[in-house]
Structure 1
Amino acid sequence: MHGSSGVGHLVDRHPDVTPERLIAQLVPPPTFADVSFDSYLPDPAEPSQAAAVQSCAQFCDQAVERRAGKKKLFGRRETLPGVGLYLDGGFGVGKTHLLASSYYRLPEPKAFATFGELTQLASVFGFVECIELLADYVVVCIDEFELDDPGNTTLISRLLSQLVERGVSVAATSNTLPEQLGEGRFAAQDFLREINTLAAIFTTVRIDGPDYRHRGLPPAPEPPSDDDVVRGAAQRPGATLDGFDELCAHLATMHPSRYSTLIEGVSAVYLTDVHPIDDQNVALRLVSLTDRLYDAGIPVIASGAKLDTVFSEDMLAGGFRKKYLRATSRLLALSRQGDA
């Protein structure tokens, strides 16, 4: 794969992430850099979407009030506990759009992180230091709260409950499956049970609707040939070209928190020989990379198997089904950008 002249390769990049960089990254991804409540277009057929906008706006008002605290005698202020909002729903109904809009509506200091970035922050700084770091924030927004890693979920629950006590408000989105039993109520209950220390402060808001990434869109397109991919990469400034297996092996050499830095400045990712994955670890790393590519809006052009077959049926039958379906939805959206 390294024969092509002048084209960079992700496998040649070895990014490093400093604590300062981790803090600087706590903002919404580039895809959501310009969103607002006004730019969210609720589906008229799904009244829960317009209602969710109202709930988010109300949450923002409450978060500011809580951070200000309660006036006491002699001008001192008493800290009021923060409020919590949990946006529950399937893929592509605009949960991240609303979460990022809430972030932008609120004053500094504030943080926006994926669940993975937050666990990484806690592991780099330590639990107590992480609380000190965020204790004066107005809000911490967490995108895609994960319920499939009990250790991390418990850690983050403890972290959030301590922050809430100090006046920090918390907004989170779920990664529920649309077809889950009870249309997602199930996931909301799971969430509140997992973070039972926080359950009392969280208001759960359900957002219904079809995945907007698939609205009226055709299924996965036929993949281009290897030659087309190599040629396309050579013609696109800033593109990278890698073999699928080589890239998957390279991802194993670094913590997923470095994937953002790995793809920094890349205009498009070209891959050859894509095939279904049957190793859980490889698949989960690919999910993390896909999320970072999607956040940055970097197109993916891939030869080999169709992108909706990367996560095998066996994989989809397991506990990480919701992650794999989300990643498939995002890969297809990025491949359509590549076609554009």
Structure 2
Amino acid sequence: MVIRLSERWPEVSSDRLLSECVPPPRFAEVRFATYRPDPDEPSQAEALSVLTERAVQLAQPRQAPTFWSRLRGRGATPAGKPGIYLDGGFGVGKTHLLASLWHEAAGPKMYCTFVELTNLVGALGLRAAVEALSSYRLICIDEFELDDPGDTMLISRLLGQLVAAGVELAATSNTLPDKLGEGRFQAIDFLREIQALAAHFDVRRIDGPDYRHRGLPVAPEPRPDEQVEKIAAERPGASCDHFVDLHRHLAELHPSKYGALLDGVEAIAITDIRPLTDENVALRLVVLADRMYDRDLPLVAGGVPLDQLFSAEMLKGGYRKKYLRALSRLIALSRACTP
């Protein structure tokens, strides 16, 4: 029987949300020893050295704060910053290094994307999130970004309270922390919060070729909808949904439930994919694409080619990096189903 994602209503407990905050399967086995710095990019070897040194500190259980440590900030490292921030383009190994740091650190610890973190806080509430995370040794945040003023205020308050509680932070992004939010909202109006976030981090730049300079991969030719439905019906564990039904259903679910929506699914089929004009719909599909990519779920697609999913205006706007990442991932997943 074909699974219909648009007919699923998953319930997700706070314990599950927290337990799932680990590196995705494709980064489950990475370690510092498996990172290969580009000899032509010395910043990569430097970042590896800095992260390895930080990992030695984080491998030790967190010590109870002393009077003097409280005066200088309980979360402060010997370098004076409670967090490390890896800035650089796509494909230079930032996530590899971040996941390696998480694997080396003592627990309790957490690994999530920035979107997952905001979704977690939205699901739990700020107070409950602070209570749940204040005892953690380390929180790793991949793809750090600010999408709107609400995120800025929320994450600024959350990280400020966690740092005060002694939690150490590590993050990756392709935007310097003091430039977060530019092009997406009036960041100048929230300069104090952005500067407070930036102050938590020791920034390390990792240079290397950016995949965007090579262009997006060409999307496979979409299949006729009848063929998409036939493939889904013949493939065990496959879901099949009309594109409009799926994105309307996503609007009725909290994004923290998108992972649970895919429980037991082995492949995803979508018929009648259409170009998007609504940014809210587009951003929900970005989150779903990330959860599909984490689980390495092959995609069978009908309708327009995937590289036409986001409009030219969207690909020039403030969420450009999000859309390019989603396209790259969806195209990769669709190629897994190409004969």
Question: What TM-score, normalized by structure 1, do the two folds share?
Answer: 0.85
Q: Tell me which amino acid in the other structure corresponds to 2:265.
A: V
Identity %: 53
Match of 2:36 among 35, 38, 41: 41
Q: Does the C-alpha gap of structure 1 residues 250 and 214 become closer, same or farther in structure 2, counting only changes over 3 Å?
A: farther
Residue aligning to 2:131: 132
Q: CA deviation at 1:328?
A: 1.0
Residue aligning to 1:53: 48
Mapped partners of 1:87, 1:53: distance in 2: 11
Give the superposed CA RMSD: 2.7
Q: Tell me which amino acid in the other structure corresponds to 1:41.
A: R
Residue aligning to 1:166: 165
Mapped partners of 1:151, 1:308: distance in 2: 30
Is this contact kept in 2: 1:85–1:171, CA < 8 A? yes
Structure 1 residues 27-106: aligned runs within 5 Å: 27-64=22-59, 67-68=62-63, 80-82=74-76, 83-106=82-105
Q: 1:31-87 CA distances to partner (integer Å, 9 max, x unpaired)? A: 2222212222333343322322222212223445693357789xxxx9832421111
3-state DSSP of counterpart to 1:210: coil
Segments of 5+ residues of structure 1 without an aligned counterpart are 1-5, 177-183
Task: Please say which of residues 327-336 and 34-43 is displaced more in the overlay.
Answer: 34-43
Q: CA deviation at 1:267?
A: 0.9
Q: CA deviation at 1:150?
A: 1.9
Q: Does the C-alpha gap of structure 1 residues 126 and 216 become closer, same or farther in structure 2, counting only changes over 3 Å?
A: closer
3-state DSSP of counterpart to 1:326: helix
Residue aligning to 1:267: 266
Is this contact kept in 2: 1:64–1:138, CA < 8 A? no
Structure 1 residues 95-244: aligned runs within 5 Å: 95-174=94-173, 176=174, 187-191=176-180, 194-211=193-210, 218-244=217-243
Q: Does the C-alpha gap of structure 1 residues 198 and 64 become closer, same or farther in structure 2, counting only changes over 3 Å?
A: farther
Number of residue-to-residue matches in the alignment: 321
Is this contact kept in 2: 1:277–1:310, CA < 8 A? yes
Mapped partners of 2:238, 2:209: distance in 1: 32
Q: CA deviation at 1:244?
A: 1.2
Is this contact kept in 1: 2:9–2:261, CA < 8 A? yes
Mapped partners of 1:98, 1:209: distance in 2: 14
Q: CA deviation at 1:231?
A: 2.5
Mapped partners of 1:85, 1:38: distance in 2: 20
Segments of 5+ residues of structure 2 without an aligned counterpart are 77-81, 182-190
Question: What TM-score, normalized by structure 2, do the two folds share?
Answer: 0.85
Q: Does the C-alpha gap of structure 1 residues 208 and 231 become closer, same or farther in structure 2, counting only changes over 3 Å?
A: farther
Residue aligning to 1:289: 288
